[in-house]
Structure 1
Amino acid sequence: MSDVPHPYSIEVSPLTKPEGHFQWAIRKSGKLSERSDRPHWSESKAFESAMEAVERAMKPGTDGGGRR
């Protein structure tokens, strides 16, 4: 899995329902920033989805960065 840019961290965890699926949570400086809204088929797919969310959050004009 690739490196998550500072100050973000990604937590991927298994779901009990539906069993065998995964969810993610993104933290910025330790504070919950965003959570997945749907189950993912694998841990790697969940991580990939979380990285896309981090990249979106880092773009100017979003909650994550570049705001005036």
Structure 2
Amino acid sequence: MADPVPHPYSIEVSPVAKPEGHFQWAIRKSGKLTERSDRPHRSEAKAFESTMEAVERAMKPGADGGRR
């Protein structure tokens, strides 16, 4: 994946057991889990796109890293 993840964030995109062929993601800040996907994504690319959007939200001033 070409998009760099800004420090101190890291992301994990992994397959889920059900439904088969779908993916989930998690965001960590300095190693601590801050957010994870609440639904499976149909492809690894879609999951990665979704997690990058979540990282951008978390980086906004005053953001607590969660959804509102």
Same fold flag (TM > 0.5): yes
What is the aligned-residue identity percentage? Answer: 86
Mapping for residues 1-68 of structure 1, pairs under 5 Å: 1=1, 2-64=3-65
Deviating above 6 A after TM superposition, structure 1's stretches of 4 or more consecutive aligned residues are none
| Cα distance in 1, alignment partners of residues 11 and 49 from structure 2 | 10
Q: 2:17 is matched by which residue type in structure 1?
A: T
The unaligned stretches of length 5 or more in structure 1 are none
Root-mean-square deviation (Å): 0.8
What's the CA shift string for 1:11-61, capped at 9, x where partnerless?
000000011000000000000010000110111110110000000000011
| Cα distance in 2, alignment partners of residues 41 and 9 from structure 1 | 21
TM-score normalised by the chain length of structure 1: 0.90
Q: 2:41 is matched by which residue type in structure 1?
A: H
TM-score normalised by the chain length of structure 2: 0.90
The unaligned stretches of length 5 or more in structure 2 are none
